[in-house]
């Protein structure tokens, strides 16, 4: 398994500001993922972040709004830019670990964001 930490664990932000969320993994991984979980909803994939290349965004998510960095194989950041109350969600990072033919995903504890 993998131990994943996220900072901050929660934050309350003002409309129009930006927040950068950090994700740290205890082992080197190729792929990291960022998900959003809006209140009462399930998880939706925002983007896939591979080291050394630009992040790949899912439909409905754009780089200007959710810029992502992946400077090395154990760390990634997600920025939520120009926030509005609709951005209030839990943001989770995850990693995929391969063991033989098994590709299992592990998640961080999440960052609970409230935008006023």
In whole angstroms, what is the distance from residue 52 CA to residue 94 CA? 18
3-class DSSP string for 23-43: EEECCCCCEEEEEEECCCCCE
Residue the block writes with tokens 């409309």: 15
Q: Smallest gap, in angstroms, from Cβ of residue 93 to another protein?
A: 9
Q: Is 92 in the site for another protein (CB under 8 A)?
A: yes
* Stretch 52-81 residues interacting with another protein (CB under 8 A): none
Least Å distance, CB 16 to another protein, is: 26
From the list 18, 14, 57, 13, the residue with the least C-alpha distance to 35 is 57
Rounded to a whole number of angstroms, the minimum distance from the CB of residue 70 to another protein is 14
Site residues, another protein (CB under 8 A)? 1, 4, 6, 31, 33, 41-45, 48, 90, 92, 94, 96, 101-110, 112
């Amino acid at each position: 398994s993998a131990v994943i930490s996220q900072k901050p664990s929660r934050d309350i932000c003002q409309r129009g500001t930006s927040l950068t969320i950090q994700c740290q993994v205890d082992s080197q991984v190729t792929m990291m993922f960022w998900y959003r979980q809006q209140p009462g909803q399930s998880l939706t994939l925002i983007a896939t972040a591979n080291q050394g290349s630009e992040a790949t965004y899912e439909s409905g998510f754009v780089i200007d709004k959710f810029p992502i960095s992946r400077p090395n194989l154990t760390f990634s950041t997600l920025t939520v830019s120009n926030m509005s109350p609709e951005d209030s969600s839990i943001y989770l990072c995850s990693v995929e670990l391969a063991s033989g033919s098994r590709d299992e995903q592990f998640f961080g504890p999440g960052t609970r964001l409230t935008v006023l």
